[in-house]
Amino acid sequence: MVGNSWRRLGLDPAFRLLYGSLAPIPSYIYQKPQRQPETPSPPFSGCLAHPKGEPVNIVFLDSGTLPARPLRFDFPHTLQNHPHTAPDQTAARLAGADIVITNKVAIRAEHFAANPQLKLVALAATGYDNVDLAAARVAGVAVCNVRDYGSDSVAEHAFMLLLALMRNLPAYRRDIAAGLWQQSPFFCHFGAPLRDLNGKTLAVFGRGSIGRTLAGYARAFGMEVLFAEHKNAAAVREGYVSFTEALPRADVLSLHCPLTPDTRLMIGEDELRALKPGAVLINCGRGGLVDETALLAALKYGTLGGAGIDVLSQEPPAEGNPLLSANLPHLIVTPHIAWGSSEARRKMCEIIVANIEAFAAGRPQNVIA
C-alpha cells in the first residue's frame, strides 16, 4: 500500500527506508486534479448587440491624434483605425459603423441621416462643437465625451503662456537674436517691461476642472482669481463676477469654456478695449471664442499687452491665419497642443475605452446628447 503510494509520486519505495516507517500518503496528495469544465463566455448582450451576434463595428476617424497604442474592448468587435480623415472621406468611412470615435473630424446631420445603424459617437476630446448634437438626438445616437483627462496639461500650458508674456520672454529672445544684449554698455539689457504675478488679477472664463486647476496655480503665485459669469447672463451666480466687471479688473484673461452659439466671438473689439492697458489674453479653449481680426488690431495698434493662443478659428490653418504671419514679440501661438501631454493622452485613451464599454453594457457615461 505504502509502496504503491510512493510509486504514484514517482519515487522508489526504498526511499521510505531513509525515513523509517511512514503512514500511507493520503490520496488527495497524489491524485491528478480533475479538469473543471470551462464555462462558456456569455453572449454579448449590451445595447449594441446585433440580432445575429455579429461583432460591433467601431471606426476611429482620426486615430493619429492619439498615441500609437491599441484600444481594447471586452466584447466582440472590429476596429478600423484611420490616422486622418478628410471631410470628403467621412461619409464613406462611417458606412456600416455602429460606433464612431472622433477627435476633431466633423459629424454632421447628413452623416446621421445616412447611417441609421450608428449608435454612439465617442468623442476623443472634451469639446463637442464638431458634432451636430441636435441631429444626433433626432437620430437617437448617443454622444459622449472625455472629461477631466488633461486638466493639468491644459492649465500648465496656459500658465506657461501667461508667465512668458508677463515677463516678455519672446521679446527678449528676439533682442538676443538681434545682438542687442551683446551691444549693451551694461551687464543687462532692458527692452520690454517685466511684470510680477504677485498682486495681479487673473480672470478665468470657465469654471470647470481646467479653470479651477489654473486658478490654483495662479493663487500659488499670489494672484487674485476671478471667475467670470457668462456673457449677457441674467444673474450672477455666487462665487462669480459679472462678465463686464471681470474685463476691466483683469491683468490676465484666460478662456477655458466650450464653443457654443452663446460663446462664439465672446471676445471682440469692444471687450478688448474694455481691458486695462497691458492686459494679457490667453486662449486655450476654442479659436472661435475670439475675433482674431480684432485681436490682431489690439496687439498692433491698441494697448493689449500680449496674447497667448493655442487654438485658431480654422484648424489646421491650411489657408493661413493673420495671427501666424503677424511676427509680433508679444504674441505666442502654439499649434493646439495644450491638451496633449503624454500623461493626458494616455488617460484619454483609457476614458475612451471606458465610455464605450459602459455604453455597450447599457450604462452610458459622460453623455452629452
Q: Name the residues annotated as catalytic.
A: 286, 315, 336
Please spell the DSSP secondary structure of 209-253, one letter per residue.
HHHHHHHHHHHHTT-EEEEBPPTT-SS--TT-B-HHHHHHH-SEE
Task: Tell me, rounded to whole angstroms, the distance of Cα 87 from its chain centroid.
Answer: 22
The type of residue at 24 is P
Distance CA 344, CA 152 (A): 8
Distance CA 19, CA 17 (A): 5
Nearest to 80 by CA among 65, 102, 61, 106: 61
Distance CA 133, CA 118 (A): 14
Dig out the grid coordinates for 2 from the structure.
505504502
Query: C-alpha distances in angstroms, 132 versus 174, 260, 351?
Result: 44, 11, 22
Helices (H), 189-341: 209-220, 243-249, 269-274, 292-301
Dig out the grid coordinates for 119 from the structure.
449608435
Dig out the grid coordinates for 215 from the structure.
486658478
Dig out the grid coordinates for 14 from the structure.
526504498
Q: Answer whether 101's CB lies under 8 Å from 61's CB.
A: yes
Phi, psi of 126 (to 5 degrees): -85, -45
Across 37-55, b (16+ Cβ under 10 Å) vs e yields eeeeeeebeeebbeeeeee
Using alpha carbons only, give the angle 333, 193, 172 rounded to the nearest 5 degrees: 55
Task: Tell me, rounded to whole angstroms, the distance of Cα 300 from its chain centroid.
Answer: 32
Task: Tell me, rounded to whole angstroms, the distance of Cα 198 from its chain centroid.
Answer: 30
